[in-house]
Amino acid sequence: MHRLRCFDRMVVVLGTLFRELAQYVEISQGVKEKSASVADISESLRVSALNGAIEADKLGTKATGLRPVLDWLRGLSADITEQGASFSGALNELVDEVDLVVFDLMAARPQVEMTATFAHEIADHATRAEGGEAVCRDAAVCLHSSSCETIRRALKRLCAMRDRLQALSASQMSLIQASRSLRPIYLTGRIEMAEGVGARLASVFEDVGGQLGETADSLNGLGKLLEDLSGHLARGLGHGDEIEAAIAQIDSRVHAAY
């Protein structure tokens, strides 16, 4: 029976990884919500900058000092909108990957548990039946191969998620820097507003100020979520190494006589 301990070890290690799944689901849902927020706010920034330019055109020479500020604001906000849309799309792809990992591991768990259970039952029967050793080996090979395909697919996706997270963290920092670059322009516009160029244009700048604050909050929140996901991913990959070791041990057992 000691030869079957590798099956039991596989169940234990996969169970440890399975307990991480609730955190993956919770974090990925938060990422999805923050992703939508970043995309919406960046688009609002672009629209506010465009509205500001329209209002400045209506004011003519009264808004001469604001024209360069609004041009810079519109150009940078358009860049942020483009980056935000790309970032949001990449985040949604990451969430899809998380969902697939969760699905595969949820499917693999009962497969592995059944493999261990059947291997024990067949081995127990084999001790009382002539030729049972061959039956036990053949059944174990079949069951083991079925579960390993699902598990390795999930582990491969975990590795791909690690690369995606690194790229997304860099994109998040780039967006933070871009939004920060708008702050001096916004403050310059507020100074120009002191000249008194109309309530509607003043309202536009108020909107921009609020949107910049919301952008910073959403990006910082996303950064925390990505950091948490990265930590869970690192632990998941560590469990993956244990699972691969258990698979290798089972491979050596099922391809040899019990």
The alpha carbon of 52 is separated from its chain's Cα centroid by a whole number of angstroms, namely: 35
To the nearest 10°, the Cα dihedral for 17, 138, 2, 125? 120
Give the model's confidence band at 254: pLDDT under 50 very low, under 70 low, under 90 confident, else very high.
low
114 vs 132: CA distance, rounded Å: 19
- DSSP letter at 70? H
Residues 139-158, mean pLDDT to the nearest whole number = 78
- pLDDT of amino acid 257: 44
Tell me what percent of the residues of the chain surpass a pLDDT of 90: 0
- For the domain made up of 2-254, the CATH class stated in words is mainly alpha
DSSP 179-202: HHHHHHHHHHHHHHHTT---HHHH
Would you say residue 124 has pLDDT above 80? no
**Mean confidence (pLDDT) of the chain:** 77
The domain segmentation of the chain, as residue ranges, is: 2-254
Q: Where are the beta strands (DSSP E) in the chain?
A: none
Question: pTM for the full model?
Answer: 0.69
- DSSP letter at 131? T
Would you say residue 228 has pLDDT above 80? yes
Closest CA to 161 of 67, 254, 216, 226: 226
* 11-35 residue pLDDT tens: 888 777 777 766 777 787 788 788 7
Task: Calculate helix-pair angle for 132-193, 21-59, nearest 10 degrees.
Answer: 20
The residue type at 183: R
